[in-house]
Amino acid sequence: MCRQQQPIVDRLSNDPRFANVVRFIIDFDSGKEYRRQLNVAQQGTLIAFKGKAERARSVGQTDPEALRKVFEATL
């Protein structure tokens, strides 16, 4: 997640609708193995899973409504 996404994701994480959403943050520079496994090539990539299935992906998005949709994909 990039600096611009951080406050938006924090607000969404505090929304009661997303109380059961688990955030897993990987450092882009030191998490190379995870990036490879998740096919992440760019900073600011958010991936939403429901169970083991990827439900949504956002790359570099900073629009609050677009990020909300990523969160909603986990419900």
The tens place of each residue's pLDDT in the chain, 75 residues long, gives 788 999 999 999 999 999 999 888 888 899 999 999 999 999 999 999 999 999 999 999 999 999 999 999 999
Total-model pTM: 0.84
- Confidence at residue 42, expressed as pLDDT on a 0 to 100 scale: 92
Residue type, 75: L
- Confidence at residue 3, expressed as pLDDT on a 0 to 100 scale: 85
Domains along the chain with CATH numbers = 5-72 (3.40.30.10)
CA torsion angle 22 28 29 31 (round to 10)? 50
The residue assigned the tokens 């955030």 is 23
